[in-house]
Amino acid sequence: MKSFITPVFILTFLVSFSQKAVQPFMPEIIKQFPNVRDIAISPNGNEVMFTAQSVMGNLSAIIHIKKENDTWLKPEVASFSGQHFDLEPFFSHDGLTLFFVSTRPLDSSSTEPKDFDIWYVKRTDLDANWSEPTNMGAPINTEHGEFYPSISNNGNFYFTRDNPTLKRKDDIYISELKNGNYTEPVVLPDTVNSDGYEYNAFIAPDESYLLFGGYNRKDGLGSGDLYISYHTENGWTQAENLGNLVNCDKMDYCPFVDFKTNTLYFTSKHDNTNTNLPLSLSITDLLLEFDKYDNGASRLYKVFIDELLKK
């Protein structure tokens, strides 16, 4: 019987499968670090920033990789990072400002770390060096912790805040940009937030949807999951779990969308370590199992986002 499977069919299937399946991001680079979390890609696609952390997560620095002639160069510690506890970078839409989170002291003469604040560095053009970091100050930063900046095209600023006065866990806030200034941040409604932990909010540039992390929710698959809420004329819709294409029974967090490629990047502790062993492993096989990308360490993954959004 003549086969109807052609090379074109196989190629189409593989492309379709790769768009639907979650894949590791830069595995050979990412595996150099004990743990990696959160990612930001520059608007022109030629720079990547991510956070590398120690095994216990008590040392944290922002890593910078540049692309030249379609080749990614060696990773380097970002010029403004490496001394203090830094994480969660986010590029402005012109690529000339980078926001990030740090516990660095406000006064350079001090060695005492502060609570988590949002800072920024600037550059005059895409090839220039970054400036010294500046604290965003009020009304974004407070005596409480602020995390994970994300900015829409109109300049509205979304972030996470730990506000003990609300007598609940972390919530997601918005500060609107009006006449060049940020307004007093407002907590998003309970269709997004809850009494538990909400964190790592990524806003679509047109504010049509919000991706964020929710911890141990009733509809969760385990630990932290990624959720989506849509912005409608009636406000933010009830957040929905993104499902098991992305989420697993371990921690899933730190979403970022590259709209040029319709790709969702996220952090996960996916663990596919094989523990059902019919035979004893050799040392070589054991090390290969330990060295899997999806071995439970915090890693970066990517998936075609159109599979996850409502049509």
**pLDDT higher than 60, residue 11:** no
How far is it, in rounded angstroms, from Cα 132 to Cα 231? 36
How far is it, in rounded angstroms, from Cα 226 to Cα 111? 36
Mean pLDDT value across residues 31-42: 97
Evaluate whether 142 touches 159 at the Cβ level (below 8 Å). Answer: no
Evaluate whether 131 touches 79 at the Cβ level (below 8 Å). Answer: no
pLDDT tens-place string over residues 137-146? 999 999 999 9
Please give the C-alpha separations between residue 187 and each of 17, 38, 198, 224, in angstroms, as whole numbers. 39, 23, 11, 20
What sign has the CA pseudo-torsion 115, 75, 149, 124? positive
**pLDDT higher than 60, residue 16:** no
The rounded mean pLDDT for the chain is 92
List the beta bridge partners of residue 77: 63
| pLDDT at site 188 | 97
Per DSSP bridges, beta strands 145-151 and 157-162 are antiparallel
Proportion of the chain above pLDDT 90, given as a percent: 86
| pLDDT at site 4 | 43
Please name each of the domains of the chain with its CATH number.
23-307 (2.120.10.30)
Half-sphere exposure of 195 (CA within 13 A, CB side): 2
Nearest to 201 by CA among 225, 222, 172: 172
| pLDDT at site 166 | 82
The number of angstroms, rounded, from the C-alpha of 60 to the middle of its chain's C-alpha atoms is 15
| pLDDT at site 311 | 54
Query: What is the identity of the amino acid at 298?
Result: S
Task: Tell me which of 153 and 9 has the higher pLDDT.
Answer: 153
Mean pLDDT value across residues 151-157: 97
Mean pLDDT lowest for which of 48-52, 198-202, 303-307?
Answer: 303-307
Element (H, E) at 172: strand 171-175
Mean pLDDT value across residues 139-162: 96
| pLDDT at site 15 | 38
| pLDDT at site 2 | 43
Query: What is the identity of the amino acid at 291?
Result: D
Joined tokens for residue 108: 């350079």
How far is it, in rounded angstroms, from Cα 65 to Cα 47? 6
Joined tokens for residue 311: 């049509």
Query: Taking the CB of residue 239, how many other CB atoms lie within 10 A of it?
Result: 24
Q: Which residues of 141-180 are buried (b: 16+ CB within 10 A; e: fewer)?
A: bbeebbbbbbbbeeebbbbbbbbeeeeebbbbbbbeeeee
DSSP output for 199-252: EEEEE-TTSSEEEEEEES-TT-SSSEEEEEEEEETTEEPPPEE--TTT--SS-E
**pLDDT higher than 50, residue 191:** yes
Q: Which pLDDT band, with edges at 50, 70 and 90, does 118 fall under?
A: very high
Evaluate whether 257 touches 204 at the Cβ level (below 8 Å). Answer: yes
Mean pLDDT value across residues 158-167: 90
Radius of gyration of the chain (CA): 20
pTM metric for this prediction: 0.91
